[in-house]
Amino acid sequence: MIVVLSRGISEHDKEMVRIFLKDRGFKIREQILGEDEILGATGKAPVDLRELGLLPGVERVAATSNPYELASRETKSEDTIVTVGPVKIGGSRISMIAGPCAVESREQIMETAARVRESGAVILRGGAFKPRTSPYAFQGLGMEGLEYMKAAGEAQGMPIVTEVVSPELALQMKDLTDMFQIGARNMQNFELLKKVGSLGKPVLLKRGPSATIEEWLLSAEYLLASGTRDVVLCERGIRTFETYTRNTLDISAIPVVKALSHLPVIVDPSHAVGIRAKVSPAALAAIAAGADGLTVEVHPRPDEALSDGPQSLYPEQFERLMRDIEALAPVVGKELLRTPRPRIGIALGGKSPGEKGPAEKRGLAGAGGSAPLPVAFSGESGAFAEQALMRAFGEETPRLSAASFGAVFTAVLEGTACAGVVPVENSLAGSIHENYDLFLRFPDIAIVGELKLRIVHCLIGDEKAEMDTIKIVRSHPQGFAQCRDFLEKYPAWQLEACNDTATAVASIVREGATKVAAIAGEAAAKIHGLKVLRAGIETNPLNYTRFLIIARREGAGEAPQVPPSLGSEPPNKASLVFSVPDTPGSLFACLKILSEGGINLSKLESRPIQGQPWRYLFYVDVSIPESGGVFDRVMEELKTRTEDFRFLGAYRAPEGGSLASGAGKQT
């Protein structure tokens, strides 16, 4: 049983609640869960929950049907997001942990850390203390190895996770590791669980090879009850009769556990299959099943590894796996997490180490201890733009709801928002020209990032609404266009356009309308308390919208202010707009300059020039070669053949539609 206490409860009232429970034979443990202070009461004594709920200082009482109360979704319905340094595990992210099975030397862990970081891993794994089946096998380098690993993590800007094997070592390791790992063999070492939990650090809890899901969650309960708030569950395969793989990866455990518990779930495909060639397929299957991340063993020379070499990936194999995950992530509605890397020297649009950037000088984005500025999006809570914003910046980022796309640009320009998120193109309905045109109206705004979000439309209505009672359907015009085939089946419905899909949903609540439905995402339905009448009504399931992240330029000729959360990867894509003389071959001459410079053209679209009938601007997306000097020379030459040339921004656009950002520059 969980007793949630009111905020600001007095010590007297809290003690009276304790006495009430103890007098009835309950054992009590105090815990902070999210923002709530709770009392966990265990026992089989009868109690009147209504009487308990009426005590002063009691906000609510939750009687769970599971023996794992703190880990249960009955206690906490929303997903827990575990923070490990700059890394968030859970929610809409896929977090990648990678590194060797064991730390073998300083050189080995430094090399491995650099290679996995380059591919996109955000947490470094490795064993300093290795519990092995054979007493003669390599047992790890101990505290010396942990110090090597800590140095490697700091060099690459990665927090580290390592296994703790005894309560005595936990205290010694506390200051050197960012996250404790409880190995499969120690899942039910309850004294170890209690000690590690009491230290309050994040914990990665692996499932034992013969453990049931309930036993696994009860081990998590030990950690939560002992004091830590941050527990990540790790499925690593269970022991079955099959011998073709090291263990049997229990894929079904992922959706089962996510339904039972609010804790994030990741998968260790390396230990699950134990065979290098099988690791990547198992990893992709885990992501498809809903895992919040992976922990993968990678070694620069697996054949020389002192531990688990046959299941360790070569760095090149890990790189390919990361690319596959990046492509798969949007399909399952998630985003591959990227974190800022340490900056060495001066990068494109960047700054020297220790130098304050424009955001820090002006107190933006939480720099200098100030409160972080919000990120702006168009529409009400639940809009697809808000979902894209959370993918790019994280669920905890302050958000500013703007009334229109123009209002988003204005908020960024005036400094009331540190960045903005705007849609520019849909894979089915085409370009959103209003936002392309806004870049001309706001020359001090630049593009600093890109995100592609899969759009799943639902027909949403009041709890009393039914399909045969609907008379009016509201949505953004793009929503109607993307659901054309579905709407054609109901020709009697009257379509009413709104500024955005979430506003359409909110209007139903405000009006209490039972004969009005809206086309929007499922998130909008949940936020506004409405029901989904029909899900997945878009004409084509391959329905994606491309969003751009915008920020303000600091001044003429200067780079835009890039929010720190967008990272520091060098840009590989740029957007520009220009007009050409009204002479034969003028556009061809511009395209020839790009071609001869080795610049790939990924988008070319014309837009009318306002006030100049039959004259056009050309919006262009191009690649940026690794050699920045070539790109700069091509841009300078292009200016000589165009009339109105504007550089909209340089940014990172990884394969698979994920977000990353460059520091954007003005050419």
Confidence of residue 344 (pLDDT cuts 50, 70, 90): very low
Q: What is residue 399's three-state secondary structure?
A: strand
Average pLDDT estimate for 634-657: 83
pLDDT score of 49? 79
pLDDT in tens, 254-263: 999 999 999 9
The 10s digit of each residue's pLDDT in 609-619 is: 876 777 888 99
- Label residue 69 by pLDDT band (50, 70, 90): confident
**Average pLDDT estimate for 79-103:** 94
The pair of three-digit structure tokens given for residue 178, joined into one six-digit string: 């960012």
Return the minimum-mean-pLDDT range out of 31-45, 84-98, 290-304, 648-662: 648-662
What pairs with residue 617 in β-bridges? 607
Mean of pLDDT values over 542-550: 91
Nearest 5°: CA angle at 648, between 645 and 652?
135
Predicted TM-score of the model (pTM): 0.67
Percent of the chain residues topping a pLDDT of 70: 89
Q: How far apart are CA 585 and CA 591, in angstroms?
A: 10
Which residue numbers are catalytic? 545, 547
β pairing state of 93-99 and 123-125: parallel
pLDDT band at 636 (very low <50, low <70, confident <90, very high): very high
pLDDT bracket for residue 352 (50, 70, 90)? very low
Backbone conformation region of residue 473, classed left if phi is above 0, alpha if psi is from -120 to 50, else beta: beta
C-alpha 374/C-alpha 640 separation (Å) is 39
Reported as a single tens digit per residue, the pLDDT across 369-391 is 456 889 999 988 889 999 999 88
CB 644 within 8 A of CB 617: yes
CATH annotation of 458-535: 3.40.190.10
Question: Right CATH number for 358-454+544-651 from 3.40.50.10860, 3.40.190.10, 1.10.357.10, 3.40.50.1820?
Answer: 3.40.190.10
- What distance in Å separates the CA atoms of residue 660 and residue 650, rounded to the nearest whole number? 11
Grade residue 564 by pLDDT with cuts at 50, 70 and 90. Answer: low
- The whole-number pLDDT of residue 364 equals 42
Q: What is the rounded CA–CA span in Å between residue 585 and residue 482?
A: 36
Q: What is the 3-state secondary structure (H, E, C) of 498-516?
A: CCCHHHHHHHHHHHCCCCE
State pLDDT tens for residues 156-169: 999 999 999 999 99
- Condensed to tens digits (0 to 9), the pLDDT of residues 476-529 reads 998 999 999 999 999 999 999 998 899 999 999 999 999 999 999 998 999 999
Judge contact between 412 and 419, C-beta under 8 A. Answer: yes
CATH of the domain spanning 82-336? 3.20.20.70
Q: For the residues 303-316, what does the mean pLDDT come to?
A: 94
- Give 2-62's CATH code, choosing from 3.30.70.1140, 3.40.50.2300, 3.30.2130.30, 3.30.980.10: 3.30.70.1140
Mean pLDDT of the chain: 87
Q: What is the pLDDT of residue 628?
A: 61
- At 660 the pLDDT is 37
Domain residue limits, the chain = 2-62, 82-336, 358-454+544-651, 458-535
Q: Is the pLDDT of residue 447 over 90?
A: yes
Q: Does the pLDDT at position 154 exceed 60?
A: yes
Whether residue 655 is predicted with pLDDT greater than 50 in this model: the reply is yes
Q: Span 588-604, mean pLDDT?
A: 93
The pLDDT of residue 347 is above 60: no
In the predicted model, is pLDDT for residue 566 greater than 50?
yes
Positive or negative CA dihedral for 319, 320, 321, 324?
A: positive
Closest Cα to residue 248, out of 217, 282, 297? Answer: 282
pLDDT for 358: 36
Instruction: Write out pLDDT tens, residues 173-204.
Output: 999 999 999 999 999 999 999 999 999 999 99
The predicted pLDDT at position 294 comes to 98
CA dihedral over 171, 177, 178, 179, signed as positive or negative? negative
Q: What is the pLDDT of residue 663?
A: 34
Contact 137, 155 (CB under 8 A): no
Q: What are the CA-CA distances from residue 261 to residues 68, 92, 285, 601 (Å)?
A: 9, 16, 21, 47
Position 557 pLDDT exceeds 60:
no
> Over the stretch 107-134, which tens digit does the pLDDT of each residue have?
999 999 999 999 999 999 999 998 877 8
Q: Positive or negative CA dihedral for 31, 32, 33, 36?
A: positive
Domain 358-454+544-651 and domain 458-535, same fold? Reply is: yes
Tell which wins on pLDDT, 659 or 310: 310
Integer Cα distance of 638 and 596 in angstroms: 12
Indicate the pLDDT class of residue 593, thresholds 50, 70 and 90: very high
* Neighbouring residues of 135: CB distance < 8 A, sequence distance ≥ 6: none
Q: How confident is the model at residue 60 (pLDDT cuts 50, 70, 90)?
A: confident
